Every structure is written in structure tokens, then in C-alpha cells.
Amino acid sequence: MAGKEKSRGELLTEQQNPSTKDIDSKTVTEILELINREDQAVAEKVAAAIPDISKAVELTTAAIRNGHRVFYIGAGTSGRLGVLDASEMPPTFSTPPNWFNGIIAGGDDALRKSIEGAEDQPENANKDLQAWGLEKGDVVIGISTSGAAAYVQRAIDYGREQGCGTCYILCTPVPYYEADADVVIKVETGPEVITGSTRMKAGTATKLVLNMISTATMIQLGKVYGNLMVDLMAVNEKLLDRGTRIIQQLTGLAYDEAEKALLAADKSVKNAVIMVKKECSLQQAESLLAAENGFLRNILE
């Protein structure tokens, strides 16, 4: 394990926030105003990390294009946020379920309850990644807002040993545990509203960064046309309606006709649009998409 640069008490995420020292004496409205004021700075801190977030997107995009996978791995709030982002990729972008994967220290039980000490068991990171069949070419994104999760640090090191791309997401300038990652994303959110409660500002920053990585990757892979979610599969009433409205917008069809087109395309928005615009069959639409690696813009324009 890499050397410790700081004691836990010196970590920025563990410092006491002078702006909220007397928060317990405030009214409910004043408490909420304090929380909101602190939250407003988070987006600016994320903006400062965009150059490194961009590097992470390059890693994830290249990995998926070459048939590999992305693994988010974290403990506690960080792990839960990774699992959340990964789980939203298939319904949002019709991705294969293994493109983005979320692993949390302590296993799925830790999603609903705290598994004490799970972050302090680095050997389990190896076991968990092995269970998921981690292989050369995959990308391991370790999430630890304070950098104090030995489990995450070991996951990154193990990924590098296996020939994977690696990324370390932090909310402190110097982590408790260093890791030799290809990309290090530091979003310095500062002391929390409630001292050490990194589910707050640090958690918000983490959610923003993960959204940016996964969404930008999907755009790079042709899952979006304009800003429309054209690769969704209409698997429920909400998505059926959204898909129908997207087809309306891109083809000029009336709602009922757009819905018929969607159903004729086996509920694939992309294929429905191609079938209407190119006056072709579903099989032909699928062939056109395959030839253009899924990029709808290349077919329509």
C-alpha cells in the first residue's frame, strides 16, 4: 500500500467548516440557506476538474469501443453513487448491461445499510474485481472522496496490475492513500456543512462527475442525436411516450403515426427514425446503423 501523505484529521474533507459552526442554533430556513450556499460552490469546483474528467472520458470511450468495460468501485456513499450511475446506463441509453458496472465494498447489502469496516479491507477489492471477471483493457474508476478507503486504493492498483485503464476520483487535494492511476480527478469541495459528512458536498460533486463521464461517453459512442435520447428502448409507458415524441420531432409525423413507427421498429427510436426517413425496413435500418457504428447523424445527414 502506498504511503500516507496526511493523517485522517488533516484531510480537507475532515476539517470543520467555519461557515456552519453554529448551524445547530439556526432556524430551519437558515439551516437550509447555509446548506444551499455551500452547495452552490460545488459546480465551480467540478468545472475546474474538467481537463481531467475529459481524460477519463477518453479512457472509457476507448475501452467500450474496443469491447471492454468500465467499473466504478467505491465504499459507502461513493460506492452507492457508482452503482447508481452504472445502473442507469441500460434504461437511458440502451447499453448492454456490462458496459458500466458498479461495485461497492461489502457487496449489494451495503447499498441499503452500512457495512462497517468494508472500506478497510483492501484484499476484498481483488476478490470483487476477480468475481466480475476484470480483464486487460477494462477501466477501473476508484471513487473515494477523502482517499481514505484502502479498498478503493487497492482496486486501482489491482486494475493497473491487470493492464486496465485507471482513474481515481477524489474531493481532497492530497488523499490519505495515494494510487498510481492514469487519471486523477480532484474536486476540492472543502469542509462539509456537517464535519466529515461527505455524503453532502463531496457526494454531490461525485454524482456530477460520474454523470459527466458516463453521459459524455455515451455521446461519443453515438447514443445521442442533437440532445435527444435516441437510443432509448421504450420499455415502459414513460419511455414509449418519450420515444414517440422524439420520432415526431425528427420526422414530422403526427403522434399516432410516430407511435406506430416506434412499435414497427420493435420500440427502437433510432430504427424507427431511419425507417421513416429512409423509407426502409427494420432490417435495412439495422444494417445502416451497424455500418455507421450507431451514429444516427451520419445516416440522416
* CATH class of domain segment(s) 237-300: mainly alpha
pTM passes above 0.85: yes
**Residue of 119, 178, 259, 286 marked active site:** 119
Interior angle at CA 109, CA 103 and CA 111, nearest 5: 60
**Residue of 58, 88, 188, 292 marked active site:** 88
In whole angstroms, what is the distance from residue 43 CA to residue 256 CA?
41
* Gyration radius of the chain's alpha carbons: 22
In whole angstroms, what is the distance from residue 219 CA to residue 223 CA?
5
pLDDT at 2 over 60: no
Q: Please enumerate, as own/partner, the contacts of 166-169 that have beta carbons within 8 Å and a separation of 24 or more.
A: 166/139, 166/140, 166/141, 166/142, 167/56, 167/59, 167/139, 167/140, 167/141, 167/142, 168/141, 168/142, 168/144, 169/78, 169/141, 169/142, 169/143, 169/144, 169/145, 169/206, 169/209, 169/210
Let me know how many helices (H) and strands (E) the chain has, helices first: 13, 5
pLDDT digits (tens, 9 = 90+) for 65-101: 999 999 999 999 999 999 999 999 998 898 999 999 9
- Per-residue pLDDT at 80: 94
237-300 matches 8-220 in CATH topology:
no
pLDDT digits (tens, 9 = 90+) for 137-179: 999 999 999 888 899 999 999 999 999 999 999 999 888 888 8
Segment 19-42 mean pLDDT: 93
The CATH number that domain 8-220 falls under is 3.40.50.10490
Q: Where are the domains of the chain?
A: 8-220, 237-300
Task: Name residue 104's beta-bridge partners.
Answer: 74
Please confirm, yes or no, whether 116 is among the known catalytic residues.
no
Q: How far is CA 283 from its chain centroid?
A: 33
pLDDT digits (tens, 9 = 90+) for 211-231: 999 999 999 999 999 999 898
Computed from CA positions of residues 155, 161, 166, 170, in that sequence, does the dihedral angle turn out positive or negative?
A: positive
Please confirm, yes or no, whether 88 is among the known catalytic residues.
yes
264 residue type, one letter = A
